[in-house]
Amino acid sequence: MEKTAYIILIIVTIAWIIAWIVGMFENAWLGIIGLVTIVGLGLLFIKALTDRLASKEDDILFIGKDVSIRWEAIQRALGERAIRAPFQLDLPRASVVIEQAAKMPLPTIEETHHFVPDYKRITEAETNWRAEQQQAGKVL
């Protein structure tokens, strides 16, 4: 799997360099190159993760609905150390998230005052205000 990932990344790199030199990029090629790059990096990540997990001696509990996709590969890599959680635990639970959040340290006062939210969408009030400004002929 590791060799396959490196081969994919080398091919993508060569293709990208050739396309860059020729200067004949089209949007479709960028998307294909990006997709292949993500697949190659994903394969490398899986290899690195299985190597890291294999070096530990403890049992490893796998939870999540996507674990079943790679369960055979996980069992080959980890053997009896791989433990699959019951399907009832595959979906995230709010109580577990709260428990994990409670273990995290609270931010300092300075961090709290320097926090800048990253809004994905403007508020309804701002949308209405902008519409009024545009109707009034004011440039924003």
Enumerate the domain spans of the chain: 1-54, 57-117
3-state secondary structure 57-120: CCCEEECCCCHHHCHHHHHHHHHHHEEECCHHHCCCCHHHHHHHHHHCCCCCHHHHHCCCCCCC
Tell me what the pLDDT averaged over the chain comes to: 78
**Residue 24 pLDDT grade (very low, low, confident, very high; cuts 50, 70, 90):** low
For 66, phi then psi, to 5°, come to -90, -5
95 vs 17: which has the higher pLDDT: 95
111 vs 26: which has the higher pLDDT: 111
126 vs 86: which has the higher pLDDT: 126
- State mean pLDDT over 6-10: 78
**Residue 22 pLDDT grade (very low, low, confident, very high; cuts 50, 70, 90):** low
- State mean pLDDT over 102-126: 85
127 vs 18: which has the higher pLDDT: 127
pTM for this prediction:
0.34
